[in-house]
Chains A and B, each alone.
Chain A
Amino acid sequence: MNERPFDLAVVGAGPAGLAAAVAAGESGLRVALVDAGPRPGGQFWRHAEGADGAGHHDWETFASLRSRLRRLTAGTRVRHLPLHQVWAVDRAGDAPFTLRLTPAFDGATDEVTPAVRARAIALCTGGYDRQLPVPGWTLPGVMAAGGVQALLKGSGTVAGRRAVVAGTGPFLLPVATGLAAAGAEVAAVVEAARPADWLRRPLGAAAVPGKAVEGAGYAAALLRHRVPYLTRSAVTRVHGGDEVTAVTVERVDGSGRVVPGRTRRLAVDLVAFGWGFTPSLELVVALGAGTERGADGSLVATVDRARRATVPGVYVAGEATGVGGAAKAVAEGELAGLTAAVDAGRPAPTKRGRRLAARIARAERFAEAMHAAHPVPERWTEWLTEATVLCRCEEVTVGAVERAREDLGAGDPRTAKLLARPGMGWCQGRVCGFATAALLAAGAGRAVTAEDLRALGKRPLAAPVTLGELAALPEPPDPPDFPDPDTA
């Protein structure tokens, strides 16, 4: 802890964080790169040790960033701290930020660094699958689509034998083709939207031609594996006793309302649900930096064109500023790293900065078109029953939250959370936060607001820690006195 503070701490070594650490390090900053994972790569380039990139998109970009990182860590410029999770960040006045670290899991590493100090911080924390509960979604065999992919990429394990991949968005395709290529039977990809819609938005799609090509590749793979692609359809119920045995697939209209008489049942042992991604914003919120509703309806960090957050010394890049894929994350990360270097007094690489900003703007247009074509169906809450579990951790049902709203006047998420306790378990509302906000808003006959999402996105600690770690703080355990996002 008496170590000289770093110029920049980068949290997350996914596409965004890797690019940020490399850009800042090569610009002459001393950088600490903290990541919960064992190896750099994040979600997109997740790989087993020694993997050669087979089956990965754009592995060359990763390999190049990784070797540049290695060059920097071989010197003293960049310190990489894998298997460390940041559970809190604090700062007294103008002093450097202190990042509190905990091992990613018990015994993850022999050399635990409990804290890192840095004058500036770049949050590249990515996100996780966005979930919409349906009856039966707590049965074993129901997984997040990204989790199915992570199991395959990280461990070479196929999560089931006969799968349905359901939700919305282009990410369903690589999950389905990945499963099929690994030997699982994919009974169907069930897509709520009608994706032809987004090809009709020439501006977005044309802006990133590489993406369209990638999409065509997945479509061909689906055909090759004879995977039916059902559009304007949704898995509205999961069946099974001790685990999944089947799903109900229904036709839905553009708003998500079920079209009667078009029901089918598929026998499956794996359901992979993906409704886009939710950015990880706990550290953004903890630092009092501004947030807003992004193009896909989730809460995202507010940043300027150079990736500065609304709090001085804080930068945000990647999925945390809005979900848009790995290429966008890499460009944003590099720009955030360069901006941090310029703000620390290094010469400005004006041309590069401008080129990156333009590339990001193009990727954002593309992402907006994608999100517009793959919205969360407005009326998905109509698929729920009273008994559907909303909060998986505390097993709070839809009915319990609706009763809190109707009988106790808990129309806002904060009150509902106190009364019915959704989002109060181990995951601190990461899984059910979006759905709870949507359910309460639908009950009140209004749209979800950024305020609703903020109330459910506030987590005193970015990761559960031991009492020992809390007690070991020099000051009394940081009571959750982070700046209130309402006033920030």
Chain B
Amino acid sequence: MTAELPTFTLTFEGRPLTARPGQSVAAALTDAGIRAWRATRGEGAPRGLFCGIGVCYDCLITVDGRPAQRACLVPAAEGMALTGAPPPLPRPSGADEGNAS
């Protein structure tokens, strides 16, 4: 579709990936045949893209040392270093919602 645009390189676990401008990190990984980039805390099950729009948090990835980024939202950028470190526990959200009601 956008084949004529110049491509650039980023890495996943040190392995080079090629991306086109405007692609998300998840798209660059998918194009490289990488479908899973983290393991769950409980079962150690592989996970990657699911909802594709920032809702499910399945696609969490570490971007340039910043953990827990949603790969489906973050645009790929030249020289970006991606790693699949496990995400931390959920940030303050609904964790203690039981007290709310």
Question: Of the candidates A139, A392, A461, which one forms a contact with B92 in the assembled complex, judged by CB atoms under 8 Å apart?
Answer: A461
Interface of A is mostly: loop
| In the complex with contacts A142-B50, A143-B50, A155-B24, A395-B55 CB distance below 8 A | no
B52 touches A143 (CB 8 A): yes
A144 touches B50 (CB 8 A): yes
User: For residue A423, which residue of chain B has the nearest CB?
Assistant: B94
The count of residues in chain A whose C-beta lies closer than 8 Å to any C-beta of chain B is 65
A464 to B98, CA, bound (A): 17
Which residues of A sit under 8 angstroms from B24, Cβ to Cβ? 151, 154-155
CB distance from B18 to the nearest CB of A (A): 12
Whether A414 sits at the interface, judged by CB under 8 Å, is yes
A417 to B94, CA, bound (A): 11
A458 to B35, CA, bound (A): 32
- A32-81 contacts to B, CB under 8 A, are 36, 38, 43, 48-50
| In the complex with contacts A424-B95, A460-B94, A461-B94, A129-B51 CB distance below 8 A | yes
Central interface residue in B21, B73, B75, by most chain A CB within 10 Å: B73
Which residues of B sit under 8 angstroms from A104, Cβ to Cβ? 54, 73
A428 to B60, CA, bound (A): 15
A243 to B47, CA, bound (A): 9
Interface of B is mostly: loop
B94 touches A151 (CB 8 A): no
CB distance from A119 to the nearest CB of B (A): 27
A302 to B46, CA, bound (A): 40
| In the complex with contacts A151-B27, A418-B98, A426-B57, A464-B22 CB distance below 8 A | no
Which residues of A sit under 8 angstroms from B26, Cβ to Cβ? 151, 155
CB distance from A458 to the nearest CB of B (A): 7
A positions within 8 Å CB-CB of B: 36, 38, 43, 48-50, 104-108, 128-129, 138-144, 146-151, 154-157, 159, 182, 242-243, 392-395, 414, 417-418, 423-431, 458-461, 464-467, 470, 479-482, 484, 486
List 5 A-B pairs, minimum CB-CB distance, nearest first: A147-B52, A155-B27, A426-B57, A157-B27, A140-B35
